Amino acid sequence: MGPDYGTADAAATIGLAMTSQAEIEAFVGEQFPQTRCTIQAVGKLTATVRHTIGAEDLRPGGTVRGGIMMEVADVALYIAILGEIGIVPLTVTTSLNINFLRKPAASRAIIGVCRLLKVGRALVIGEVALYSEGSEQMVAHAVGTYSIPPKR
C-alpha cells in the first residue's frame, strides 16, 4: 500500500519539508510586496492570514468586496502549501471556489484559516474559512486546488 497523501506526514513522505513562518514571510515580502495579507500562523497542514480592511476594500452598501475575500483565501492556501512543501514559487492556483455566507464587518480585518485536505505530488487541495476578526461566524468558505510544478 502506498503513502497516504492526505495525512500530516504527506510532505515528508514525498520528500518535502516544512518551511518556517519566517522563511515564508521573507519570500512573500520579496515576491509579493503588493499584498496586504499578513501571516498570523503556519502549522502542520494549516495557515492563518489577516487582511486589514480599508475604504478601498469596500463596495457600495458598505461590505467587503468579494475579490478581497478571494485574495485572502488564495493567500492562505498558498502560505499553507509553502509551509508543507517548501518555497516553490511556481506553485499556482488551478481552481478556487468560494461561497459567500454573510456580510463581513466593514470595520474589521478578514481572517483566513486554511486547512490542507490533501497534499499530493502534483496537486494540493485545501479549504479556507473566512471570518471578520473577532467573530466566530464564518463570512465565506473557499475550496482551492494548487498545482505543484514537476521537479526538473
In this predicted model, which residue has the larger pLDDT, 3 or 90? Answer: 90
Question: How do residues 94-117 score in pLDDT, each as one tens digit?
Answer: 999 999 999 999 999 999 999 999
pLDDT score for 92? 97
* Helices 21-31/66-85 angle, 10° precision: 130
> Could you report the per-residue pLDDT of 47-78, keeping only the tens digit for each?
999 999 999 999 998 899 999 999 999 999 99
pLDDT band for position 151 (50/70/90)? confident
Cα–Cα distance for residue pair 40/131, rounded to 1 Å:
14
Q: Which grid cell sits at 12?
A: 515528508
Residue 18 pLDDT greater than 80, yes or no? no
| Other beta carbons less than 10 A from residue 71's beta carbon | 19
Distance (Å, rounded) from C-alpha 127 to C-alpha 110? 16
Per-residue pLDDT, 17: 59
Q: Give the total residue count for the chain.
A: 152
Quick one: pLDDT band at residue 15, thresholds 50, 70, 90?
Answer: very low
How does pLDDT run across 115-131, given as a tens digit for each residue? 999 999 999 999 999 99
Give, in order, the Cα–Cα distances in Å from 10 to each of 14, 52, 134, 140: 6, 33, 33, 27
Q: Which CATH architecture has domain 10-147?
A: Roll (3.10)
What does pTM read for this prediction? 0.87
Break the chain into its structural domains and give their ranges. Answer: 10-147
Q: What is the DSSP string of 101-119?
A: -SPPPTTS-EEEEEEEEEE
- 133 pLDDT higher than 90: yes
Q: In percent, how much of the chain has pLDDT > 70? A: 89
Query: How many other C-beta atoms lie within 10 A of the C-beta of residue 39?
Result: 20
Q: Which of 29, 28, 54 is nearest to 110 (CA)?
A: 54
Cβ neighbours for 64, distance < 8 A, ≥ 6 positions apart: 53, 57, 58, 104, 106, 110, 139
Q: Is the pLDDT of residue 90 over 70?
A: yes
